[in-house]
Amino acid sequence: MLPPLEKMEPIIHHFHKYLPLTEAEHELILSRIKHRQIKRRQMILQEGLVCHHYTFIVKGCFKMYGVDDRGIEHNIQFAAEDDWIADIGSFHSKKPSGFFIEAVEPSEIIQIEQQDLYFLYINIPKLDRIFKVIVENKYVELQNRVLQNISSTAQQRYVNFLEQYPTLASRLPNVQIASYLGITPEFLSKIRKDLSGK
């Protein structure tokens, strides 16, 4: 028995943006994915556990973060609609993750388990290509973030974040944005004050 089609439609549509898939391929994919509702603050990955899923976000928003030795959270990435989130390192190595992935809004996701994704890679070689392109795009994004981190002030990074992710910026509390930028919430508050007085 296949899951209700309409709930799975977004991920199929997502794949089609990269490469067309046949009906048979749709069916195969649908037979290997699961739809879930996630509550705000619910975690779909915890430090110390292996990351078993690639998670596609149909609706809602997640943060992925590490916790340092003083207990402070550091946001490595956000992901919202039509995006993926996973600890890719842990997922492939099957080693415990050092990260948490947590819903910052009530969310609706589609998950693929590791064995299922590997099965799909073997039976639909196109998916290798699709995920290659997905990861390449994410790599470029990260690379720009690194450049910003090593070359810009916190103010420039914040302005850039607002421009690059206007939707995220309005959905997320500033505390979370500060953590993503690598500054304290107090300092972000000061930056916002300085900017507004321009």
Interface residues toward DNA, by CB under 7 A = 40, 153-155, 173-175, 182-190, 192-193
The binder of 36, among a copy of itself, DNA, none, by C-beta within 5 to 8 A per type, is none
Site string for a copy of itself, 87-126 (x = CB under 8 A): -xx--x----------------------------x---x-
How far is the C-alpha of 74 from the C-alpha of 128, rounded, in Å? 31
* Sign of the alpha-carbon torsion through 72, 44, 86, 89: positive
The binder of 146, among a copy of itself, DNA, none, by C-beta within 5 to 8 A per type, is a copy of itself
For residues 181, 103, 67, 51, the Cα torsion angle rounded to the nearest 10 degrees is -120
Residue ranges in 154-193 that form contacts with a copy of itself under rule CB under 8 A: 179-182
How far is the C-alpha of 149 from the C-alpha of 154, rounded, in Å? 8
Query: Whole-number minimum distance, CB 145 to DNA, in Å?
Result: 15
Distance of CA 103 to the CA centre of its chain: 10
Element (H, E) at 137: helix 126-151
Among 2, 23, 71, 151, binds a copy of itself (CB under 8 A): 151
Within 94-125, residue ranges assigned H as helices are: 114-123
Residues making contact with a copy of itself (CB under 8 A): 66, 68, 72, 74-77, 88-89, 92, 121, 125, 128-129, 131-133, 135-136, 138-140, 142-143, 145-147, 149-151, 179-182
